[in-house]
Amino acid sequence: MLQFHVKVILPTSKDNDVLQVKRFETDMPLYVHTFGDLAEFAAFRHMSLKTAYAPITVESIYVDEGYMQTSNASINGVFGASNSLKLRSANGPITAVVDLLNQGSEPTILDIETSNSPINCAVSLAASDNGPGAGGTFDVRTITSNSPLKLSFKSSPTGAKLQTIARTSNSRATIAMHPEFEGSFQAETSRFGQTDLEMLNLADPIGKGRKRIFQDVRKEKGSARGSVFWQRETVDDYDVRRRGGVEVKTSNGPISTPNNQEAKRERMSYINAYRPPSDTIPEKELYGPSPYDLNFVVPVPDVLSTGKVKLVPFVPRKHAARFMSRVEGHADFFKYMPLNLETLHDWLFFVEKIMRRDEGNILFAVFDTSGLRPELVEQDKDLGVPGGALAGAIGLAYTDPHNLTSEIGPVIVLPQFRRTHVSSHEVGAILRWGLERSSVSDDPTEGGLELRRIAWQAGPENAASNGLAKKMGFKFEGIGKWAWVIPTPKPGFKKIGKRAREGDSRMGRDTMRWAVCWDDWEDGGRKLLDELLSK
């Protein structure tokens, strides 16, 4: 797969002042846009970012005028704007923390729009002149459909004129207005929805115990309208309708204010937009992309070998069905694994979601080349390893090229090759690759990875795995209690674990922790492995 990365580095301004950038524009479909923490170092007079099918992520940025557009992807970030900020997506969520500064008679505009995806926006308002009656003018518009909408105002100058529109459909609209808000309001949902005016019934922001006045309120099923302001000694010269307005609309969903805990979070200067990843994969994606992308953090050789086994990258279209066919009839084969891997679908999900999609993980197919099972060598001619029979699988996980660490796992020997040389040779091939020094060759796939540490984990009940770790030179480092949650086994299969606290039906597992480090390798580990593999 051909990939391009474009990196823009801004120059340092003179005297360490904020760098003034007159114009910054992109129009790059399919490109992910990522911006660092720039708000304190650069100000963009005009910024326009356009992409499609790729997210836009901003740590922090400040613009006079900003326009950011994508589709079928998210926009996420912290923004500041003094004139206008427009965020556009379609079928992609938008999560934004926004500071708006008003410096003149024209309103400062925030305009956020997407479809079929949620909006979560927290806004702070400020004005360059905070004198009486000079609180600034702001227009805030947030629109989506078929998804929740959440809009909150964290701060506002006294006397600010705020016009707000928040619209969605078939979902909840949650609004938290700032106590400084005064003006007209209109909340509308479908006939059997609910509107909650508590979003306007707020405590006095200046702490003088003033009464909140609701005027000309009309409430019907699914709607409410009127105006709201703070009590004054005289209102003769004060037309509250000119101060601002809020319009909230949805359908088939309530209009509400956050509960106390949510409101407290909304006043904070951060959000948590995390969404757990889906625990399913479309059937068409189970076998991975074509051509197959290993997606591993370091270069991978075509083959790793000892005298008796060869390791090649596990490619589901080529290896998965044959691999699982050799497990059939062995109901307890995966009993020590803290995952359900008993069916072809389960195995494909594991290989794609847990191994390939995590760039720190890689899985190898293990072929016995000793001729131990000639009938299987004949069966496996189509798998592309001359003289080889598919004998197992082995992986590296949590590989960190910065800290030079990794972990061996899973280690799987198929039933037809249990109690043979396969287990020690597949582990030996991985250890050599991981711990040996890198090659002086220009080819990055030659030589070893020069890792400093390779770990190993096994359940305390798995005597074979712990015994293999010890045999291969791993040093025991201790027991990690309750390290794994064991899934409920599928009917007809078995899992090894122990019961957790009362009321928790899922089993758990401790883990025995082992490791070989670079100094262990240099101080006898390499020699031990050579002796084992030469037998």
How does pLDDT run across 378-398, given as a tens digit for each residue? 999 999 999 999 999 999 999
Residue 287 lies in a domain: no
Q: What's the pLDDT score for residue 60?
A: 92
Residue 283 lies in a domain: no
Of the residues 248, 266, 284, the one at which a domain ends: 266
Asked whether residue 193 falls in the same domain as residue 326, the answer is: no
Residue 372 lies in a domain: yes
> Looking at residues 86-114, what average pLDDT do you find?
94
Whether the per-residue pLDDT at 97 is higher than 90: the answer is yes
> How far is it, in rounded angstroms, from Cα 450 to Cα 514?
19
> Looking at residues 369-381, what average pLDDT do you find?
96
Q: What's the pLDDT score for residue 439?
A: 66
> How far is it, in rounded angstroms, from Cα 468 to Cα 128?
70
Contact present, 19 and 12 (Cβ < 8 Å) = yes
- Which position has the higher pLDDT, 243 or 302? 302
Whether the per-residue pLDDT at 130 is higher than 60: the answer is no
> How far is it, in rounded angstroms, from Cα 100 to Cα 79?
9
Q: What's the pLDDT score for residue 337?
A: 94
Asked whether residue 258 falls in the same domain as residue 299, the answer is: no
Residue 53 lies in a domain: yes
- Which position has the higher pLDDT, 127 or 422? 422
Long-range contacts, 49-57 (Cβ 8 Å, 24+): 49/25, 50/26, 51/26, 53/29, 54/29, 54/30, 55/92, 56/32, 57/32, 57/33
217 lies in which domain range?
A: 19-199+208-231+239-266
Asked whether residue 261 falls in the same domain as residue 326, the answer is: no
Contact present, 422 and 366 (Cβ < 8 Å) = yes
Asked whether residue 348 falls in the same domain as residue 383, the answer is: yes
Asked whether residue 127 falls in the same domain as residue 256, the answer is: yes
Whether the per-residue pLDDT at 508 is higher than 60: the answer is yes
- Which position has the higher pLDDT, 200 or 56? 56
> How far is it, in rounded angstroms, from Cα 319 to Cα 327?
13
Q: How many residues does the chain have?
A: 535
Q: What's the pLDDT score for residue 119?
A: 96
Residue 360 lies in a domain: yes
> Looking at residues 420-439, what average pLDDT do you find?
94
Percent of the chain with pLDDT over 70: 88
Asked whether residue 301 falls in the same domain as residue 185, the answer is: no
Q: What's the pLDDT score for residue 55?
A: 94
Asked whether residue 139 falls in the same domain as residue 23, the answer is: yes
> Looking at residues 316-332, what average pLDDT do you find?
95
Residue 8 lies in a domain: no
Q: What is the CATH number of the domain that holds 478?
A: 3.40.630.30
pLDDT digits (tens, 9 = 90+) for 193-246: 556 555 556 667 767 777 777 777 787 777 888 888 877 665 544 455 457 889
Structurally, the chain folds into a number of domains equal to 2
> Looking at residues 491-513, what average pLDDT do you find?
93
Residue 456 lies in a domain: yes
| Tally of CB atoms within 10 A around 208 | 8
Whether the per-residue pLDDT at 65 is higher than 80: the answer is yes
Q: What's the pLDDT score for residue 162?
A: 92
Q: What's the pLDDT score for residue 237?
A: 40
Asked whether residue 423 falls in the same domain as residue 485, the answer is: yes
Asked whether residue 244 falls in the same domain as residue 306, the answer is: no
Asked whether residue 113 falls in the same domain as residue 262, the answer is: yes
- Which position has the higher pLDDT, 376 or 276? 376
Q: What's the pLDDT score for residue 482?
A: 97
Q: What's the pLDDT score for residue 484?
A: 96
Asked whether residue 168 falls in the same domain as residue 49, the answer is: yes
Asked whether residue 262 falls in the same domain as residue 299, the answer is: no
pLDDT confidence tier of residue 261, bands split at 50, 70 and 90 = very low
**Tokens standing for residue 26:** 């992109």
> How far is it, in rounded angstroms, from Cα 407 to Cα 397?
5
Residue 324 lies in a domain: yes
